[in-house]
């Protein structure tokens, strides 16, 4: 089986923590990475505070194969992500001629003011991540990928960097409907199934709709045989429980 490739996501911005902006990137990135064989292991949200960003970057980039960040690379005073990445890596930062050239493709000379030129400040040694929507690039330094917070731009950047990423075995997921059974009915048995099947994770997820509660059990893993065996065990458990309730 391919080695596990792991990642963390660092979401940067006061507006996320105050609720002013509702994050739309976490779920998208999680699904995207899972789909290509990268395990998203941790998500952190930090304010626009230098020491918070630098500390989180240094902790997460050392713990996982990749670190992805969103937010804080715009033209305003509180867009400090690029400077924080430079500080975390101990490198300089300045206007990157490549990034300036990209901005000139969008802005007229009289429009490319100092504020917009902030978006061309890139840490020394970084590779650029192309932004086909607004042209202001993201960048990669080491195993850290710095992307925009605007969902459409972030998604375009993620598509651009995806071919460069090392990937591992993809996650397999099997969903089983626990029709007519409440979690309390199968919780003990499900725990026993989970403990006896290594290499998989088993979760129970209730939801509510107009038709009432619906419980689904999801078996996840990267070994097809292990997932199949655990799925059979879960189905067997549910059949036995339903049989116990059935009239003679």
Could you read off the pLDDT of 2-34 as tens digits, one per residue? 578 999 999 999 999 999 999 999 999 999 999
Phi, psi (degrees; rounded to nearest 5) at 15? -65, -25
What is the Cα–Cα distance from 146 to 140, expressed in whole angstroms?
A: 6
C-alpha distances out from residue 204 to 109, 184, 200, 216, Å: 57, 11, 14, 6
What residues are paired with 19 via a beta bridge? none
Q: If DSSP codes are grouped into helix, strand and coil, which group holds residue 105?
A: coil
How many Cα atoms within 13 Å fall on the side-chain side of residue 39?
16
The confidence band for 246, taking pLDDT boundaries of 50, 70 and 90, is: very low
The confidence band for 75, taking pLDDT boundaries of 50, 70 and 90, is: very high
Q: Are 177 and 185 in contact (CB under 8 A)?
A: no
pLDDT given for residue 119 in this prediction: 96
Percent of the chain with pLDDT over 90: 90
Query: What is the C-alpha R_g of the chain?
Result: 23
What is the Cα–Cα distance from 174 to 192, expressed in whole angstroms?
A: 18
pLDDT given for residue 179 in this prediction: 85
| Spatial CA neighbour of 193 closest among 241, 143, 139 | 241
Per mean pLDDT, which range of 147-156, 179-188, 210-219, 220-229 is the poorest? 210-219
Residues 6+ positions from 144 with CB-CB distance below 8 Å: 57, 61, 66, 67, 68, 69, 85, 88
How many Cα atoms within 13 Å fall on the side-chain side of residue 83?
15
Tens-place pLDDT, residues 102-143: 999 999 999 999 999 999 999 999 999 999 999 999 999 999
Length of the chain: 248
pLDDT given for residue 245 in this prediction: 56
Which token pair is 11? 């979401």
Instruction: Look over the chain and give the mean of its residue pLDDT values, rounded to a whole number.
Output: 94
pLDDT given for residue 243 in this prediction: 83
pLDDT given for residue 166 in this prediction: 95
What is the Cα–Cα distance from 57 to 154, expressed in whole angstroms?
A: 18
Whether the predicted pLDDT of 248 surpasses 50: no
Whether the predicted pLDDT of 247 surpasses 70: no
pLDDT given for residue 213 in this prediction: 79
């Amino acid at each position: 089986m391919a080695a596990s490739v792991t990642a963390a996501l660092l979401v940067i911005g006061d507006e996320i923590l105050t609720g002013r902006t509702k994050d739309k990137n976490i779920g998208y990135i999680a699904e995207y990475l899972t789909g290509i064989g990268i395990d998203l292991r941790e998500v952190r949200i930090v304010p626009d505070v230098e020491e918070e960003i630098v500390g989180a970057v240094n902790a997460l980039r050392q713990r996982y194969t990749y670190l992805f960040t969103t937010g804080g690379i715009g033209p305003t005073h509180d867009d400090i992500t690029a400077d924080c990445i430079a500080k975390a890596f101990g490198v300089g930062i300045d206007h990157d001629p490549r990034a300036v050239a990209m901005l000139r493709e969008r802005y007229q000379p009289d429009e490319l003011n100092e504020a917009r030129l902030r978006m061309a400040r890139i840490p020394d040694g970084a590779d650029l991540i192309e932004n086909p929507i607004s042209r202001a690039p993201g960048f990669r330094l080491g195993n850290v990928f710095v992307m925009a917070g605007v969902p459409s731009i972030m998604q375009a950047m993620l598509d651009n960097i995806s071919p460069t990423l090392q990937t591992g075995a993809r996650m397999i997921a099997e969903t089983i409907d626990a029709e007519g059974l409440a979690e309390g009915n199968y919780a003990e048995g499900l725990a026993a199934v989970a403990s006896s099947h290594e290499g998989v994770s088993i979760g129970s997820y209730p939801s509510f709709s107009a038709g009432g509660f619906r419980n689904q059990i999801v078996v996840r893993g990267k070994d097809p045989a292990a997932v199949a065996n655990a799925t059979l065990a879960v189905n067997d458990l549910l059949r036995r429980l339903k049989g116990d309730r059935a009239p003679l």
